[in-house]
A and B are shown apart, each in its own frame.
Chain A
Amino acid sequence: MSKQLFYEDVGVGTEVTPLVKHPTTQQLVKWAGASEDFYQIHYDKDFAQANGLPGVIVHGRLKAAFLGQLVVDWIGEQGVLKELSCTYRAMDVPGEDLTCKGKVTKKYVENDEHCVACEIWVENAKGEKTTQGMAVARLPSKG
């Protein structure tokens, strides 16, 4: 784990440390089982193609979980994830790198909590944002 991040360490525009994921068809099956999502477009190529897709596609919610991991890793053990949201803009296929990224959009103190809001997204190998969202986290303060 990286060293602890503090509220004083970040400002608007600070980058969230990127997280690279490489989902495989095996990972999609593990996610299907672990999350109990058995929609066939994520593991049955024939079914996916009959639905007009190029093949099996990465679960949107797996990408949402990757974005959660991105933020939790970045805020460290003393940080607390308060909110995560995302929408899926484009499909991703297994076998390609997905890079989760983020940037601080706001920092503020509310109810004695030191908070940061970030835009977060998943980029495919071509650099296209296929999933976009927001996260809010509480950070420890040095003050």
Chain B
Amino acid sequence: MPEGSAITEEMRRAVGVEKATPIAIEKRMIKRFVEAIEDPNPLWQDEEYAKKTQYGGTIAPPMLFVASMMSGTEVRPDVPNPFQKMLDGGGKWEFFQPVRPGDVITATGKLADLREREGKLGKMVYWMFEITHKNQRGELVSRARSTLITY
């Protein structure tokens, strides 16, 4: 590591490199997701109910985008990480369009920035990721920013 910095040249080179991942949105995936969070909202699974709403059918809960498979490790580009431990530093998710079962979302993720801090746990690297989600019609449906802390 040059000059005591935990951020290597290899890590710097990873900034801005994009990776795209297709994700098929399926009823079964939505069911598992809402069961995991214990969310009984009928808009996610009850077709009869959802038909009468502004959506005309069931949709995926916007919180689906919070899941790792949509905006976390699963859709981030691989990055060279010098540390063993990690913490989720939080995130921001924006929702532009509803997502329905049958949609195919393309998640395009990149490492947007790297920062280094010296904390009580020692040297820590903050990895800022940005992920955009487009549907099969090319419409932007969501955007996520998240921070991963390794130490």
Binding site for B on A (CB under 8 A): 1, 21, 27, 30-31, 33-37, 39, 51, 59-62, 64-66, 68-69, 72-73, 77-78, 80-88, 133
Contacts and interface: CB of A to CB of B under 8 A. Distances in A.
Contacts of B61: 68-69, 72
B17 interface: no
Contact of B37 (A31, A86, A88): A31
A29 B29 CA distance: 15
Interface in B41-72: 41-43, 53-54, 61-63, 66-69, 72
A85 B94 CA distance: 8
A69 B37 contact: yes
Given A35-B68, A66-B37, A77-B54, A85 B63 contact: no
- The number of chain B residues touching the other chain, given as a range, is 20 to 34
A85 B41 contact: no
A88 B93 contact: no
A35 B61 CA distance: 13
B36 A85 contact: no
Given A69-B37, A77-B43, A60 B67 contact: no
A88 B89 contact: yes
Nearest to A29: B36
A21 B62 contact: no
Given A37-B68, A37-B73, A60 B33 contact: no
A88 B89 CA distance: 6
B10 interface: no
Contacts of B74: 36
Given A21-B38, A68-B61, A69-B39, A34 B67 contact: yes
Given A81-B95, A88-B88, A65 B63 contact: yes
A21 B53 CA distance: 27
Given A65-B63, A72-B41, A83-B93, A34 B36 contact: yes
B35 interface: yes
A85 B92 contact: yes
